[in-house]
Structure formats: C-alpha cells, structure tokens
Structure 1
Amino acid sequence: MTTTPHPASGDEQREHGLRDAVRTDIERVEEPARLLRVSTMARSLLEEAKGVHLEERARERMHRIYEQAIKEVAGSVAPELRDELERLRPTPNGGTPTEMEIRVMQGQLVGWLEGVFQGIQAGLQLQQAAARQQQLGLHAGRALARPDGLRPQGEGNYL
C-alpha cells in the first residue's frame, strides 16, 4: 500500500511564503550600519535645511551631499531597492536646486530610509513570532522526559 504525501495546508503555505518574503526583505539591506549612518546624516541635514536660509553655495553643497548620500545608500542595499530609490528620486532641473527642492529631496530620502528600516523591523518581528510559534509547536508535540526514564502516566502507544 502506498501513501500519498499530505499536501501542505493553506496556513502552512502562507506561513512559508511569509517567511520567504521576510527573509528577502531583510537580505535586501546588505550593510545596515552604513545605512543607519547615512539615514542619521540625512535626517540632520533635513533639520538644518529647515531652520536656515540657504544661499546658493550652501544649496550646491547640500545637493552634493545629497548625491553622495544616494551613492552610499545604493552601495548598501540590494539592486531591487537601488532601482526603487532611483525611480522615486526627484529629477534634477539642471541648475542649483532651490531651498524647497533641497528640503523635498532630503525629506524624500529620509522617508524612504525610514520605510526600509520599518520593513526590516517588521520582518525581524515576524521571524521572531514564527520561531516562537515553531518552538511552542515542538514543545507541545514532545512529552517531557522524567528523571527515572519512564513516560508520564497516560502516555503510551495505545489509548
């Protein structure tokens, strides 16, 4: 008599798909420490840009820093995120950006980076929840061993 393998339930398939998606999201960030440093710098620059009037030389400098930050981010993430960032990037107008353009560019970069970090945090939380659930399942399916080597009462091969 042959038996057919029991197909995975819908819940198991969803859980497996979720684990794969979480793993993919987390693996998209290749250098999280570098990304955190760039994010902190971009957030600080955004605050600076909000609080002061930026003359042309300051705007040029802020734009160069922004472009360098984009390069640093691109070197820290997987190609899919690099492409996403490039698609979301404001298109340059050819000259020195205005104060408002600088603020928008910096704000967009900070927001995008925060979204990446939130994705990582959510992924890690899902991984931890799945590991706890798996651990609970393993503990529930296993009888606790007694020091004398006997099985707990009521646990045998037969009902």
Structure 2
Amino acid sequence: MTSTPGPPRPEEHGPPAVSPQATAAEREIARVTEPARLLRMSDMVHMLLDEAQGMPLDEGARDQLRHIHLQAIEEIGESVAPELREELERLMPEEPAGLPSQAELRIMQGQLVGWLDGVFQGIKAGLALQQAGARPPHPEGQGHELPDRPRGTGPYL
C-alpha cells in the first residue's frame, strides 16, 4: 500500500535542506534562513550606528545601545544557519565589564554592520552565480555575429 502525500507535518517545516550536490551559490543563499528578518535587523543596526556616530551618548543611552546591540546579535543569530551563527559569535567582541564607552559601542556596532554587509555580499554573489548558471550557453561561433547580416559586408571586416 502506498501513502498519498498529505499536508506537511510540523517536523517538516524549517529551512530547506541543501543537497550535497548543490552549487556553491545555492549553499551560500541557504545560509540565511530568514532573509526578511535579517534585512530588518541590518537596517536597524545601520541606523543605530549612524545615530551613534553623530551624537554624544550619556550613560543611559550607552546602556540602551548595548542592550539593543546584544538583542540584535541574538535576533540575527536566529535568522542564519548554524555555521554563520557560530561565525558571528566568534567575531563579536566580548562584552566589556561595566558600561561600554562611546568608542567601544561604535566599534561593536561597526563590526556588526561589517559582518552583515559581508553576509549580504555573499548572497549577492550567490545569486549572480545562480543567474549566470541559469543562462543557456551560446552555441559556438554565434555569440557575437548578427544573424541577419552576411559576414564581411559592412565597413568593418
């Protein structure tokens, strides 16, 4: 007796599995499990860094920014595959003892922004590779000629 496919079971939800035969582009794209969430967090982190650059931060603002930074790292970690989460945790500096200075906060935020930009560059590169692989190859010898024009009849040979 064969079973008919039904609605997906709860354990089947989650990020799609990437086969060992997947291209490097597909693997890179699959490393982000929640792209919309990651984009929202990235925009927020960019805005916070811009705001923190242009104003002095009192003790309360530094405490709030530190809290937001730690929460952002946690949210971002939940939006990416485990290997990126481990990389993020490895690269982020340890939280300073006590309240971080303005300079320390800016460095922490800048590092997070740089890491996020790197993730997005990886996705862009993966998409470009995927699109390039999806284009049909040109038949040999037809890539640069105009089909309606006989060869050698124009001002350039």
Q: Given the two structures, how large is their TM-score scaled by the length of structure 1?
A: 0.72
CA contact (8 A) 1:22 1:126 kept: yes
Q: Which ranges of 4 or more aligned residues in structure 1 deviate by more than 4 Å?
A: none
Deviation at 1:88, TM superposition (A): 0.4
Deviation at 1:61, TM superposition (A): 0.1
Residue of structure 1 in register with 2:13 after alignment? none
Q: Given the two structures, how large is their TM-score scaled by the length of structure 2?
A: 0.73
Residue of structure 2 in register with 1:74 after alignment? 77
Distance 1:21 1:96 in 2: 42
Select the structure that is richer in helix.
Answer: 1
1:111 matched to 2:117: no
**Corresponding letter in the other structure for 2:77:** A
TM alignment of 1:70-149, pairs within 5 A: 70-132=73-135, 135-136=136-137, 140=139
Distance 2:21 2:96 in 1: 41
CA contact (8 A) 1:25 1:123 kept: yes
List alignment gaps of at least 5 residues for structure 2.
Answer: 1-19, 141-157
Alignment partner of 1:136: what SS? coil
Deviation at 1:43, TM superposition (A): 0.4
Pick the structure with greater CA Rg: 1
Deviation at 1:62, TM superposition (A): 0.0
Distance 1:101 1:90 in 2: 10
Alignment partner of 1:97: what SS? coil
Distance 2:119 2:113 in 1: 10
Distance 2:65 2:21 in 1: 40
**Corresponding letter in the other structure for 2:89:** E
Deviation at 1:36, TM superposition (A): 0.5
Residue of structure 2 in register with 1:48 after alignment? 51
Identity %: 56
Residue of structure 2 in register with 1:21 after alignment? 24
List alignment gaps of at least 5 residues for structure 1.
Answer: 1-16, 142-159
Distance 1:18 1:69 in 2: 33
Count of aligned pairs between the two proteins: 121
CA contact (8 A) 1:19 1:127 kept: no
